[in-house]
Amino acid sequence: MNERNDSGATVVRRPGLVLAGAAAVLVSAYVHYRLYFLGGYRGIAPEQFAGLTISRAFAVNAVVGFVLAWALVVSVRVPRLAGPAALAGVLFAAGTLGAYLLSRTVGLLGFDEHTTTTEGAVAAVAEVLAIGALGTWLVPLGSRAASVRTPSATALTGSRAT
């Protein structure tokens, strides 16, 4: 998963971060699948927006999460898919975490979550881990190393950034 940046330098990409992100997205998707099919969230529909109820949102979240986790795993072998899959994974995790926070504060589609559950905690931790792993992968190592160079560091080492 190495690639060249605009200056022609090789940028190392770490597949471990993609796989960790895939695992985290998969955990989040499984929690939503479990809550929808086994946890009683299937019949929750206090309000709807464009035909989407909170219960349908759990089902959609589960399906999208499973597909994204699969795409992230495949992207280890198909590097062209890695960038879009990682970005989609970050957006998925951030959106899911944001929806959870909305449901805990002001409500979402008429659903207010007031109890802390194991499922909620597991999904929230998985989403934070997915954002961290995939977000870190999206920032190339070469750009982090180049941003660390300062004029004083260059003067001390006598090297120039090209």
Gap between the Cα atoms of 81 and 150, Å rounded: 34
In percent, how much of the chain has pLDDT > 90? 41
Gap between the Cα atoms of 102 and 122, Å rounded: 17
Written as one string, the DSSP assignment of 38-102 is TSSGGG--S-EETTEEHHHHHHHHHHHHHHHHHHHHHTTT-HHHHHHHHHHHHHHHHHHHHHHHH
DSSP structure class, residue 116: -
DSSP structure class, residue 139: S
Q: 3-state DSSP helix/strand/coil percent for the chain, to nearest 5?
A: 70, 5, 25
The domain segmentation of the chain, as residue ranges, is 13-157
Pull the structure tokens for residue 157.
């080492």
What pLDDT is recorded for position 109? Answer: 62
State the residue for tokens 């022609």: 8
CB 123 within 8 A of CB 133: no
List, for residues 80-100, the tens digit of each pLDDT value.
Answer: 999 999 999 999 999 999 888
List, for residues 13-65, the tens digit of each pLDDT value.
Answer: 688 999 999 999 999 999 988 988 887 766 666 565 555 666 778 888 899 99
What pLDDT is recorded for position 57? Answer: 80
Taking the whole predicted model, whether its pTM rises above 0.85 is answered as no
Query: 104: pLDDT confidence band, cut at 50, 70 and 90?
Result: confident
Residue 30: C-alpha distances to residues 35, 62, 73, 118, 123 (Å): 8, 6, 16, 13, 9
Q: Is the pLDDT of residue 10 over 50?
A: no
CB 58 within 8 A of CB 85: no
